[in-house]
Amino acid sequence: MGYAGGAAGGVAAAAAIANAIKASGAIIRVEPGDFVSIIGRGKNPLVVMTDKSFWSGYKYLSSYKGLAFYTKSTEKLNLPSDAEIIAAQKIWIPS
């Protein structure tokens, strides 16, 4: 599993995912297993994740074919080895 640190990389990744969300107009919430399956379909997927919090566990956000997918899990997901991981302090999903 890869890790990309640094503010510039995080900002660029967040902007890319924000653009995907704007283009699709929707964030699709899926079960953790489905999330792993979806991001496993592409090469070098970009995944934004938060560390485990007391209230909601781990949160994950990624895009695939122009749609944004989101999940949360009490356990850390086993992501594809070629995934680029961006650590975020918070992922906010509008309700």
Q: State pLDDT tens for residues 2-50.
A: 454 556 667 777 777 666 656 546 889 999 999 999 999 999 999 999 9
Considering the domain boundaries, does residue 94 fall inside one?
A: no
Element (H, E) at 33: helix 32-39
Does 50 map to a domain?
A: yes
Q: Is residue 1 part of a domain?
A: no
Structurally, the chain folds into a number of domains equal to 1
pLDDT score at 8: 64
- Strands, E assignment, the chain: 27-29, 46-53, 57-64, 67-73, 84-88
Element (H, E) at 5: none
Q: Give the domain extent around 18.
A: 7-88
In the block, which residue shows the tokens 């107009």? Answer: 25
* pTM beyond 0.85, yes or no: no
Instruction: Supply the CATH number for residue 81's domain.
Output: 3.30.720
Determine the Cα–Cα distance for residues 18 and 88; give it in Å rounded to an integer. 14
